Amino acid sequence: MSQPASRKQQLLKRHRRNKRIGLLIGLLVLIASGVLLAWWLPPVLAVLGWVAHEAWFADHLFYSPKDDYQYSFPAGSEQPAVRLEGDKLVAEQPLQLAGDETLILEVKVKSGWLGRFVDPYVQLSGGESADRQTFERGVNGQRYLNVSGCAQALVAGQLRVRGRYCRVLGQPELRIFRQPDYRQQRIMVVAPHADDAELAAFGLYSQAKEAWIVTLTAGEIEAGHYQQMGLPRAEAARLKGRLRAWDSMVVPRWAGVPEAHCAQLGYFCLQLPAMQGAPDQPMASREADLSDIRVFRQFNPFPLPADQDGAPTWHNLLADLRALILRARPEVIVLPHPSIDPHPDHICAHDAVIEALEGLEWQPTTVLGYANHLHDNDRWPMGNSGDGIALPPVFDATLCLRPCSLPLSLAQQRDKAMALGMMHDLQPRAALKRRIRRSIQQLLAGRKPSPYGENEFFRKAVRRHELFWQLK
């Protein structure tokens, strides 16, 4: 397995170890309180401790909120001098902004005492602009606000930056990243699984002059919801794979992408790393009792190279990708970021596209990366549906990143939410434990459920921005 994925596993292992140690210490405290104080005290303390854990300590946050994010941006990026006058952001010199630039404001955010129990956020307001971006409870470090879409208020000197349950401190640093309007170009979004394209880039591809959606896997595993219908494990996995294959072909129609511009390659979920490790060896599905990918390719509007033998091999995947790139001739390819998104299928999806492009007669002018998962913060983007997306935690200063932010109107956010609602994988109810946790957090921590759906991705993905990083 590649290094980014192994890092995720290491962080999870450390988290579980610390949790076991904490439970052991808690048990000893309960026993001591029962022996030394009162027999009824341990069950009361146990319930209170569990409620406190669910409300304030259940987030998978694998770093300290006091850690500074450590970003490195490309040399030569614009960095005009700005200052805070109270809560107003003022430029030292007049700014020349068209309004479609990516604007990143580096500030120090320090949580107040209430910000240890309620999610602290920074309010951006001025003119017609209004946004808020949420950070970790107990935050006390350098953070990066995404002020894209606030250009008009910034130029007019009306942009206000206010902390809620936190303070904005220090000397702010503004960075301006200018990029062409990718919506005016031919775009190909590469999705490791059905719904990845919608989660990361629905707003982008729904507005594109021409868009192609390429989904690599059927996503057939973890079909417990369908086993509850009485289906055996393998049959449930095949049904789920067929449904997700259908979703990957049909949902883009909601955004105006024609059927002829969609492809489902049907490779098996979580088998891409094994395929990459042994390029000639077929890798069968883990759960569906299948070794032929053609089962999940029946909705494709045109033939692809791997249709000949249906073998789930890395070489077949590369051949499929080369054929699709030559057919679509995309100017922009959108795919998972190999360093930020740790999901093993996402890393392999990036690697497969880059390898497929080697020596190919057609080359995109731009490659954009996205992250639907993180190594060390399972809640990012923090905050509620409709909020802006601040830059995610990054602690590798050697990683040079060029962000690209696309604003989404409320109407576009709603269309994106409806697209996610059509995805079968996001429809089943959450587990009872998660629903109880959310209720406790709503009551004690002030968190709001998404108005669009119960699945966590409705909160994470339906936002004021879509965030990408320019890889080429």
Q: Quick one: 155 and 280 in the same domain?
A: no
pLDDT of residue 6: 56
Residue 38 or 177, more confident: 177
What is the tens place of the pLDDT at every residue in 134-187? 999 999 999 999 999 898 899 988 999 999 999 999 899 999 999 999 999 999
Q: Is the pLDDT of residue 455 over 50?
A: yes
Q: Quick one: 304 and 415 in the same domain?
A: yes
Q: Is the pLDDT of residue 284 over 70?
A: yes
Domain containing 261 — which CATH number? 3.40.50.10320
Q: Quick one: 290 and 272 in the same domain?
A: yes
Which pLDDT band holds residue 15 (cuts at 50, 70, 90)? low
Q: Quick one: 105 and 246 in the same domain?
A: no
Q: Quick one: 254 and 318 in the same domain?
A: yes
Q: Is the pLDDT of residue 288 over 80?
A: yes
Q: Is the pLDDT of residue 319 over 70?
A: yes
pLDDT of residue 49: 85
Please report whether residue 67 resides in a domain: no
Q: Quick one: 107 and 224 in the same domain?
A: no
pLDDT of residue 7: 64
Look over the chain and give the mean of its residue pLDDT values, rounded to a whole number.
Answer: 92
- Considering the chain, what percentage of its residues have pLDDT values greater than 70? 97
Measure the CA–CA gap between 133 and 123, rounded to whole angstroms: 7
Q: Is the pLDDT of residue 2 over 60?
A: no
The average pLDDT across 271-293 equals: 96
What is the tens place of the pLDDT at every residue in 403-431? 999 999 999 999 999 999 999 999 998 88
Measure the CA–CA gap between 98 and 320, rounded to whole angstroms: 40
Domain boundary among 130, 145, 177: 177
Q: Quick one: 371 and 345 in the same domain?
A: yes
Measure the CA–CA gap between 153 and 176, rounded to whole angstroms: 15
The average pLDDT across 24-46 equals: 80
Please report whether residue 103 resides in a domain: yes
Q: Is the pLDDT of residue 45 over 90?
A: no
Please report whether residue 72 resides in a domain: no
Q: Is the pLDDT of residue 99 over 80?
A: yes
What is the tens place of the pLDDT at every residue in 194-238? 999 999 999 999 999 999 999 999 999 999 999 999 999 999 999
pLDDT of residue 4: 42
Query: What's the total number of domains in the chain?
Result: 3
Question: What residues make up the domain containing 133?
Answer: 82-177
Q: Quick one: 146 and 202 in the same domain?
A: no
pLDDT of residue 404: 97
pLDDT of residue 411: 96
What is the tens place of the pLDDT at every residue in 341-392? 999 999 999 999 999 999 999 999 999 999 999 988 989 999 999 999 999 9
Q: Is the pLDDT of residue 338 over 50?
A: yes
Q: Quick one: 105 and 132 in the same domain?
A: yes
pTM (global) more than 0.85:
yes
Please report whether residue 396 resides in a domain: yes
Measure the CA–CA gap between 70 and 381, rounded to whole angstroms: 17
pLDDT of residue 76: 79
What is the tens place of the pLDDT at every residue in 252-263? 999 999 999 999
Which pLDDT band holds residue 18 (cuts at 50, 70, 90)? confident
The average pLDDT across 53-66 equals: 88
Please give, one letter per residue, the 3-state secondary structure of the chain.
CCHHHHHHHHHHHHHHHHHHHHHHHHHHHHHHHHHHCCCCHHHHHHHHHHHHHHHHHCCCECCCCCCCCCCECCCCCECCCEEEECCEEEECCCCCCCCCCEEEEEEEEEECCHHHCCCCEEEEEECCEEEEEECCCCCEEEEEEECCCCHHHHHCCCCEEEEECEEEEEEEEEEEECCCCHHHCEEEEEECCCCHHHHHHHHHHHHCCEEEEEEEECCCCCCHHHHCCCCCHHHHHHHHHHHHHHHHHHHHHHHCCCHHHEEEEEECCCCHHHHHHCCCCCCCCCCCCCCCHHHHCCCCCCCCHHHHCCCCCHHHHHHHHHHHHHHHCCCEEEEECCCCCCCHHHHHHHHHHHHHHCCCCCCCCEEEEECCCCCCECCCCCCCCCCCCCCCCCCCCCCECCEEEEECCHHHHHHHHHHHHCCHHHCCCCCHHHHHHHHHHHHHCCCCCCCCCCCHHHHHHCCCEEEEEECC
Q: Quick one: 247 and 173 in the same domain?
A: no
Please report whether residue 20 resides in a domain: yes
pLDDT of residue 350: 98
Q: Quick one: 246 and 301 in the same domain?
A: yes
Please report whether residue 62 resides in a domain: no
Q: Quick one: 411 and 354 in the same domain?
A: yes
pLDDT of residue 8: 65
